[in-house]
Amino acid sequence: MGHFPLMDLSSQRILLTGGAGFLGRAVLERLAARGARDVFVPRRRDYDLTREADVERVYRDARPDVVIHLAAEVGGIGANQANPGRYFFANMAMAMHLIEQGRAAGIRKFVQAGTICAYPKFTPVPFHEDRLWDGYPEETNAPYGIAKKAAMVMLDGYRRQYGLASAYVLPVNLYGPWDNFDLGTSHVIPALIRKCVEAREAGADHVTCWGTGSASREFLYVDDAAEGLLRAAEVMEEPTPVNLGTSAEITIRDLVALIARLSGFAGEIRWDASKPDGQPRRCLDTERAERLLGWKAAVGLEEGLRRTIDWYAANRGHRAMHDPSRPA
Domains of the chain (ranges; CATH) run 9-175+219-247+280-298 (3.40.50.720)
Q: What string of DSSP letters covers 107-147?
A: -SEEEEE--GGGSBTTPPSSB-GGGTTSSPBPGGGHHHHHH
Question: In the structure, what pLDDT confidence band is assigned to residue 317 with cuts at 50, 70 and 90?
Answer: low
Per-residue confidence (pLDDT) for residue 320, from 0 to 100: 44
Confidence of residue 2 (pLDDT cuts 50, 70, 90): very low
Question: Active site includes 312?
Answer: no
Spatial distance between the Cα atoms of 192 and 133, rounded to a whole number of angstroms:
33
Q: How confident is the model at residue 210 (pLDDT cuts 50, 70, 90)?
A: confident
Radius of gyration of the chain (CA): 20
Q: How far apart are CA 243 and CA 194, in angstroms?
A: 29
CA distances from 191 to 182, 195, 284, 312 (A): 7, 6, 23, 11
Share of the chain above pLDDT 90, in %: 84
Of 119, 144, 168, 312, which is the active-site residue?
Answer: 144
Q: Which residue did the predictor score with more confidence, 218 or 327?
A: 218
Q: What is the number of alpha carbons within 13 Å of residue 94 lying toward its C-beta?
A: 27
CB atoms near residue 162 (< 10 Å): 11
Average the pLDDT over 57-70 and give the result: 98
pLDDT of 182:
86
236/58 Cα distance (integer angstroms): 24
| pLDDT at 326 (0 to 100) | 47
